Structures are given as C-alpha cells and as structure tokens.
Amino acid sequence: MGRPVEQLSGGPVLEEVAGWGRHPVGRGRVERPEHLTLPAGVEPVVPRGLGRAYGDPALPSREGGLVLESTRADRIRSFEPATGRLHCEAGLSLAEILRVFVPRGWFPPVTPGTKFVTVGACVACDVHGKNHHRDGSFGSFVDRVTLRVADGRLVECGPDRERGLFLATLGGMGLTGLIVEVIVRLKRIESPWIVLETQGMASLGAMMEGLRLSAAHWPYTVGWIDCLARGADVGRGILMRGRHATHVEAGTRRARPALPLRVPFDAPEWLLNPLLMRGFNRLYAWSHGTALRRRVVSYDRFFYPLDAIGEWNRLYGRRGLLQYQCVLPRAAGSPPVATLLERLGAAGAASFLAVIKDCGPASDAYLSFPMEGTTLALDLPNRGAATEALVHELNAIVIANRGRVYLAKDAVTRAEDFARMEPRLGEWRAVRERWDPARRFRSAQSVRLFGDPA
Amino acid sequence: MKVAMVGATRGMGRALARRLAERGDALFLLGRDEPELALSARDLEARGGPSVSHARLDLGEPAGFTAALDAADQALSPFDALVVTGGLFARQDELAADPARLAALLHANFTGTVLLCQQAAERMAARGGGLVCAFGSVAGDRARRSNYLYGASKAGLAVALDGLDLAYRDRGVRVLCVKPGFVRTAMTAGLPVPPLAGEPDAVARRVVAAMDAGRHQIYAPGIWRVVMLVIRALPRAVMRRVQF
C-alpha cells in the first residue's frame, strides 16, 4: 500500500504508487471503492489490484492520475458446489479464495507464485502457474468477464460472447475496461496437501529434460536455477514436481499456523552483493545434491514460499528490483536459455531467485504471455542504467529467438522491442481501438509501450 | 449465534459478518439499501453461512424498527444477538457547514442506534437473554477539534451501551461496545492515515473473540486502549493546542 505523501489544500491526497519491485515509483490519487464504477468524465484511469505486478502496469499514466484499486470490491456473487463455478467481484484475492474454499475441497485452477493477487488481475495478466504445461493459463478457466468499458456501459464477455473483447482482456493489463466481475471454474482437490518430489539437476540440459519428462505425469513442475553457475554448470538447480495429495497420502496432517514474518525495513544494498548471492545459490544447490526426495508439504509451502515473508521485496533495498521474465519457443531449444543465463552470470547481476518452467501451448488471447517453450524468471536488483541496459540486452536475445517478455514483470522494455516480440499486437490494438478509442484506460506501462498520451 | 446485523454490507461490518458466517452463525441483514443487502447476503451464503435473508432498516427512522426486528425474529426464530456496525460519518467541516447533515448523523448514530439497541435488549431479555454489540469510536472518548461532532454521537452511544449492559446483564443480555481506532475502510478513505491504523479483518477477529468472551468494551486494534488512556489524561491546555 502506498503512503500518503501530500495533501494539497482541500485537494486530494496523493499516494506513492509502485509495483512490487518498488521501481519505478509514481504518484496518484488512489481510490478504493466498495463498488467498481467508472467516474463520470474523461479522466484517464489505471485499474489496480493488490500491487503484486512488478513494473509499471498499475502505475498512473501521469503525476496525480487516478488509480482505481479493486481490493474492496471483493464479494462473492455465487458459488456452485456441483461445478466449482465461482462468480465474484474483481477485487477478491486468491488468498481469500484459498482460505474459504480449500477446506471445502476446491482450489484455484491456476495460481501465480503469490496468493496476494486479485481475480481481476489474474484475468488482466492472464497469469500462469506451475501447471501451465498441462492446463494453460488462468483465462482457460474463465467463463465470463464483466467489464465497465470506456463509455460507461457494462459489457459481458467470454469465450462465447464478445469474444474479441474477451481475448483482448485476458492478458490485456486492464486496458480494455474496468474488470468488475469474473466467473472462474475452481478445481476439485482431495486434500490441502501437495506430494512434492525434488531432484538436483547438474546442468541446464538436465533441467530442461527433467521438466520435459516430468510434464507427462505431474500437474505441477518448476525448476530453481543457480543462475550464477558458470561453464558446464550453467543451469544447474533443483527440479520440483508436485500434485495434490489424496486423502490417504494426506493422512491426519494438520496445518501449522504460519509465523507472521515480515521484513521490517529496507535492507542495505550490500546485503545482496554478488558474493553473498552466489553463496546463497550454492548453499541451496549443495544442500540438495542430486538425490530424489519425496515428501508431503502444505500448499502454501509449495505454491507460495515467498508469501511467508511479508514485504520480502524490501530485501532489495530502497532502489527496488526489476523482475525479468521471458519465454522462448520450444523450437529454439536450450542454447538461447543458456545464453541468457551466461549473460546474467557475466553481468553478476542476478539474484537468488531464478525460476525455469516449461510452458504448454499459447492461448488465443492476443497479449497472453506464455507460449509453448521455456520461461525464465529472475530478480535483478535495481542498479539504475546498468540494469536497464542489461534488460535491453536480454530482450535482444529474446527477440532473436522469437520469444517475448511478461508485461506483469516489465518496467523498461522499449515499445519497438515489444512490438517485435508480439506478433498479435495489431489485433489487440484493433479491439482496444473499438472499445476505448480515447484511451480512457491507460497506465505508465501503456504510455511506454503502446504510445498512449500521458 | 443467530445474529441480526445492521451494517454488514460495508467496511468493518462486512468483515465481521464474514467471520460470523464462516463459523456457522445464522445472519439476518438489516440496512437501507436492499440491493446491497442482497449482494452481501449472497456473499455470506457462499462463504458457508446458512441461508441469509434481509429486510429494510434505516437507523434514522425508528418507526420502522419494530417491523425490522419482527422480520429478524421470524427469519431467525428468534435472533439472540444484535450487531450494529452501521452509522453515518462525515468530516467535521462537512458537518459544521450543513446543519441538516449534522442532525441526520446525530439522529442515526445516537438516537436511532440507542433506540434499536434498547428495543432489541428488551426483546431478548423477555426470552431469556442475548447479546447486543454496537460500534462506538475512539472519537467518543475525548473531544478533538477535528471531529467532535461525530465523536459526540459516538460518546453518547457509548454511555447508553455501558448503561444497557448494567441494566440488562441480570436479565441475560450482555452488551459489547466496540471502539475502533482509525481503520482503513471506505468510510475513512481520503482522510490522512495516522500511525497504528487497523485493517477491518483484524478488527473483525477481535470483535468475534470479545463477543465470545462476554466483554463489555473493547478497543480495536487493541493498542488504541493505551493510546486513548494517554489522550484522555492530557490536560485541557494541551487539547486546546493540538491541531488534530
């Protein structure tokens, strides 16, 4: 949550508004209504959820711009126990869905690496998770999205209705209209527990092969990579694969209440110096070895390890971080992934969090991020121009291999680079032109990437 | 519990109603805006509450209280708790500039709420007991120049609830007065956020625990008990000088 920084005499309170990476930082007039309505007039609006996107997609397009935060519009409209269909307002969070529905045997069909995201944001970013190779992204489970479009009308869209608007809204970063309500299909689970297998992988080749082989039998797969390893060790790390435990496997386990850990202040930047991060990554790799381990863990530990540490983004210091996530098509194979990792290693810029995952086929949604291939995500501590230059360099590798970057993580990609990554951009622009010709919905990101007026 | 609730559609009341519904308490919603009541009723049902129905009640129209409580009795056959989180709020400058608005606020927050609590306590006492829980405010503990009008409505309510507890406890009716400090809700949107601000869900958890424990007054978040102890002890000369 931003903090109020200024109250003009009788005027609105402006708050600092940033993504989860805490860079860049804008200032806006943040409204958190219990009803998501569009104010009368023509003032530009940026929709925002819980602020977990990293870069600038939920920042106002200009100083003092209106930010419409959905978190208080969080009512459930209905739930059908026979089918798992959940109809809710856009501000409902996955954390709340888990809290309410896991005890009843239901689970979000797709979840990103944090549960502190709203359903509206899951649609707007068309989020993916550890099951993308099998189930696709969040949008595959969405039956209906209700939008308040730029002219003030309420429009329902879905796979079978206003399909163009639907496909532009999934992954459309909130730029097609204000997402007001969503109908999503939850999935049945037998227990809140996860059967987890982990195995050390000695190289990138082994990791990618491990992901490929696991994909056939495991609904959830992911790899953690020591991205500071060099030479033959590039890509070494730990492969994790999981599935929901059965009643029998879960046994009589009871969840332990989580300790309320929180990072109380901004860490000094030397804490993340390359040597320390290398130590951390090595330790993580060594503690595991190449043995196969199998155990039963809580869903929180499997899906949301970082959520256990409140405000962990403060570990990156006052300047924050840039997260970089790209996907490279299957046809490109492992060489470009290795190139990216080597480039990061040489720059000494990467941190302890590097995640690799194989994706299934791309969705029909125009700006949906995943495509069949390999995605890589990592944190880059923000060191200003050097970090931005590194991102542009990585982007060049991605473009050369016909991959793309994830807008929910992006803060610095150039408009021309994004256009070269996204062949469906023209179709998306056409739909947006139809529903919001005046660009009522715009963000700092859309100004940067799509040429919107500030 | 079988709870008749005023204010369950918004803010702290919404969070509290969810906590109650999720643990299986039966709820009946009362309020001014029926479409809103229906939306919250569906939300509470989806969260595990048994069937939740609703009826119209305006704290500013005491003539309608009997019918509203009758409806609650009929739906819950009968209710054994009344929770009032609802009330009006406006900034000091808005109230000072608009006598009609001030009158409506004083009427709903004090007169209406006291009449409703009194009436419900009497009903519950006649059938063996129950619980009345209503929301005062730390603003009622000590006058401040920046919100003494709203504070006065809550101060009066707090005294009435305190007395209600004394008068009805022998007849089986417990009364809980909740005094929230600054809590981040739509009601306080746009106000400068002070330190120690609370979240509605944390307040809700604390209130449910206090209901179960039979407390007669709590502050939420709890730290505000200490804060108000200090503020109440400040000499008049200091209160004259502080600008908040």
Residue type, B121: A
Return the structure tokens found at A88.
């809710």
Note the residue count of chain B.
244
Alpha helices, DSSP H, located in A4-128: 94-101, 119-124
Q: Whose structure tokens read 């405010």? A: B137
Tally of CB atoms within 10 A around B73: 17
Structural domains counted in chain B: 1
Residue A9 has pLDDT above 50, yes or no: no
pLDDT tens readout for residues B182-236 = 999 998 888 888 888 999 999 999 999 999 999 999 999 999 999 999 999 999 9
* CATH number assigned to the domain comprising residue B17: 3.40.50.720
Partner-chain contact B39 A33, CB within 8 Å: no
Partner-chain contact A100 B48, CB within 8 Å: yes
pLDDT tens readout for residues A336-390 = 999 998 888 777 765 656 899 999 999 999 999 999 999 999 888 898 999 999 9
Q: Extract the runs of DSSP E, i.e. beta strands, from A161-204.
A: 178-185, 187-188, 193-201
Q: Which of A7, A75, A79 sits opposite B192 (nearest CB)?
A: A7
Q: Whose structure tokens read 């790899």? A: A223
Residue A277 has pLDDT above 70, yes or no: no
* Nearest residue to A121 via CA among A144, A146, A138: A138
Q: Provide the pLDDT for residue A70.
A: 98
Q: Provide the pLDDT for residue A100.
A: 96
Of residues B168 and A270, the one with the higher pLDDT is B168
What does each C-alpha distance from A150 to A99, A290, A401, A440, B148 come to in angstroms? 34, 54, 37, 6, 42
3-state secondary structure B75-96: HHCCCCEEEECCCCCCCHHHHH
Q: Provide the pLDDT for residue B219.
A: 97
Give the closest-approach CA distance of B43 to chain A in angstroms. Answer: 5
Most B CBs within 10 Å, among A76, A96, A98, A102, to test the B interface:
A76
What is the dihedral angle through the alpha carbons of A380, A422, A445, A43, rounded to the nearest 10 degrees? -160
The ipTM assigned to this model is 0.94
Return the structure tokens found at A82.
């026979």
Rounded distance between C-alpha atoms, residue A226 and residue A277, angstroms: 10
Mean pLDDT is highest, among A261-265, A384-388, A395-399, B189-193, for A395-399
Partner-chain contact A75 B193, CB within 8 Å: no
Q: Could you give all domains of chain A from N- to C-terminal order, each with its CATH number?
A: 76-189 (3.30.465.10), 193-419 (3.30.70.2520)
Q: Provide the pLDDT for residue A364.
A: 97
Return the structure tokens found at B27.
């709820």
What is the dihedral angle through the alpha carbons of B219, B222, B226, B228, rounded to the nearest 10 degrees? -30
Q: Provide the pLDDT for residue A352.
A: 59
**What pTM, to 2 d.p., does this model score?**
0.94
Residue A19 has pLDDT above 80, yes or no: yes
Q: Provide the pLDDT for residue A354.
A: 84
Judged on CB neighbours under 10 Å (0-12, 13-18, 19+), B232 is exposed
Q: Are A313 and A22 in contact (CB under 8 A)?
A: yes
Q: Which of A4, A32, A104 sits opposite B192 (nearest CB)?
A: A4
What integer best gives the mean pLDDT of chain A?
Answer: 91
Count chain A–chain B contacts defined by CB atoms under 8 A. Answer: 39
* Nearest residue to A267 via CA among A307, A228, A319, A323: A319
Partner-chain contact B189 A4, CB within 8 Å: no
Residue A236 has pLDDT above 70, yes or no: yes
Q: Are B4 and B181 in contact (CB under 8 A)?
A: no
In percent, the amount of chain B with pLDDT more than 70 equals 100
3-state secondary structure A239-294: EEEEEECCHHHHCCCCCCCCCCEECCCCCCHHHHCHHHHHHHHHHHHHCCCCCEEE
Range of the domain at B237: 2-241
User: pLDDT category, A175, cuts 50, 70, 90?
Assistant: very high
